[in-house]
């Protein structure tokens, strides 16, 4: 039987073997699509991979891949996070966009970005996977695991405005644990601009028979490295020195 992530986070680690690994990208996405329907997954957002050079190198891809997040795996400006138990305690800073109520499936390539998405925010993505040897079996296994779906913390939202230079371009994003800086980066870490990552996701998802909906969020990939965080710690995110998001790591993760 092929491995596929259920709606609820597994609470035990597993080792993959060649017998239960999806044999293609199409099979991996098909497994997730059908399992999501069976589990009544209520998609609140999407997490992207393959949007940074490091993930492209690790998983030997040159295009993005994605996983769905249940609405219970997302929190908007919480004081405590995550609200679900995770197997790992890790975090990275990302830029997220909310799909607009006016989005039209075609032609996505030609639609101004502010017509595809109506809000953006700084986000903290907390990946978690039960698969201990996930890198050994490649991107198909990662996709079948909903791209290590853990938890997504969304910061305060901003309206998306047409602008030659968007606020997330070239901004320094820093992740602090208590008063210690753990990670820093800019959107230059992404292979494509953050907004184009989100656009490419819409195209890819529709091609693979997924149906992104208005109001769902798209988290576009790690701008900072993914770092370990401690139970009970205070996590804060600054954009060019301005506080965007702050929460306490809920225990026990």
> Residues 28-47: pLDDT tens digits?
999 999 998 888 899 999 99
Report whether 225 contacts 184 (CB < 8 A): no
Residue 57 covered by a domain: yes
pLDDT attached to residue 75: 98
Q: Please indicate, yes or no, if residue 11 is contained in any of the structural domains.
A: no
Report whether 54 contacts 169 (CB < 8 A): no
Q: How many residues does the chain have?
A: 253
Nearest residue to 68 (alpha-carbon basis) of 195, 209, 172, 173:
209
Are the C-beta atoms of 192 and 200 separated by less than 8 Å?
A: yes
pTM: 0.94
Please tell me the total count of domains within the chain.
1
Q: Is residue 59 part of a domain?
A: yes
Q: Is residue 16 part of a domain?
A: no
Q: What share of the chain has pLDDT > 70, as a percent?
A: 96
Q: What is the pLDDT of residue 164?
A: 56
Structural domain for 230, as ranges: 25-249
At 163 the pLDDT is: 61
Note the pLDDT of residue 100: 92
Positions of the chain with pLDDT lower than 50, given as ranges: none
Note the pLDDT of residue 137. 85
CATH assignment of the domain containing 30: 3.90.850.10
The answer as to whether 97 is a domain residue is yes
């Amino acid at each position: 039987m092929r491995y596929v992530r259920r709606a609820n986070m597994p609470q035990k680690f597993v080792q993959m073997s060649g017998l239960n690994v999806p044999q293609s990208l199409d099979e991996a996405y098909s497994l997730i699509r059908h399992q999501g329907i069976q589990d009544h997954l209520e998609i609140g957002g999407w997490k992207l991979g393959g949007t940074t050079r490091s993930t492209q190198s690790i998983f030997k891809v040159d295009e993005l891949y994605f996983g769905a997040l249940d609405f219970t795996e997302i929190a908007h400006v919480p004081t405590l996070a995550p609200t679900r138990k995770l197997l790992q305690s890790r975090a990275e800073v990302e830029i997220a966009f909310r799909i607009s109520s006016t989005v039209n499936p075609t032609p996505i390539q030609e639609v101004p970005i502010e017509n595809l998405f109506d809000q953006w925010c700084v986000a903290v993505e907390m990946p978690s996977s039960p698969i201990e040897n996930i890198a050994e079996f490649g991107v198909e296994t990662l996709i079948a695991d909903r791209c290590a779906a853990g938890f997504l913390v969304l910061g305060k939202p901003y309206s998306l405005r047409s602008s030659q230079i968007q606020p997330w371009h070239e901004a320094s994003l820093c992740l602090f644990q208590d008063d210690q800086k753990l990670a820093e980066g800019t959107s230059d870490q992404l292979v494509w601009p953050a907004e184009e990552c989100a656009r490419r996701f819409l195209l890819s998802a529709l091609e693979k028979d997924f149906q992104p909906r208005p109001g769902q969020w798209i988290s576009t990939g790690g701008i900072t490295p993914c770092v370990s965080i401690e139970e009970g710690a205070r996590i804060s995110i600054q954009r060019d020195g301005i506080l965007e998001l702050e929460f306490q790591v809920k225990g026990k993760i």
